[in-house]
C-alpha cells in the first residue's frame, strides 16, 4: 500500500510541484497517472521511490515512512517497486539482460 498524507513538494525558487496531496493506492490496484506537463506526475513517482523527499507531509510504502528512511535502507525499499523512466538510463556497453 502507498499512502500520501498531506504531502507538499516545493523546489528551490518557490515552484510547488505538489500541494497538500492525500491519496492511497492499495495493493493490487492498477493506477493511471495522467496530467499536463508540469502537473507533478514525475515528482509523485520520485517521492514514492525516495529519489526526492517531501517538503512536508508523509509518504508511506507498506507502512514505512519513505521520507525518513536512511540512505542505506532505500535500496531495500526499491526492491519492492518498479519504475520505468522516460530517460532509460541504459548502459550501452551491456545487453538487455545485463541492464536489468
Residue-wise pLDDT tens digits, 38-68: 899 989 999 999 999 999 999 999 888 998 8
Does the model's pTM come out above 0.85?
no
Over the range 60-92, which residues count as b (16 or more CB within 10 Å of their CB) and which as e?
A: bbeeeebbebeeeeeeebeeeeeeeeeeeeeee
Residue 82 has pLDDT above 90, yes or no: no
CATH of 2-99, one of 1.10.645.10, 3.40.50.300, 3.40.50.10420, 3.10.129.10: 3.40.50.300
Q: List the 16-25 sheet strands across, edge first.
A: 16-25, 2-10, 56-61, 64-65
Distance between CA atoms of residues 76 and 97, nearest Å: 21
Amino acid at each position: 500500500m502507498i499512502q500520501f498524507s498531506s504531502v507538499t513538494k516545493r523546489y528551490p525558487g518557490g515552484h510547488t510541484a505538489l500541494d497538500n496531496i492525500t491519496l492511497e493506492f492499495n495493493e493490487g490496484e492498477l493506477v493511471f497517472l495522467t496530467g499536463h506537463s508540469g502537473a507533478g506526475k514525475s515528482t509523485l513517482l520520485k517521492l514514492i521511490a525516495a529519489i526526492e523527499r517531501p517538503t512536508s507531509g508523509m509518504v508511506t510504502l507498506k507502512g514505512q515512512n519513505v521520507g525518513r528512511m536512511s540512505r542505506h535502507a532505500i535500496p531495500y525499499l526499491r526492491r519492492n517497486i518498479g519504475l520505468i523512466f522516460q530517460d532509460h538510463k541504459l548502459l550501452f556497453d551491456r545487453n538487455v539482460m545485463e541492464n536489468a
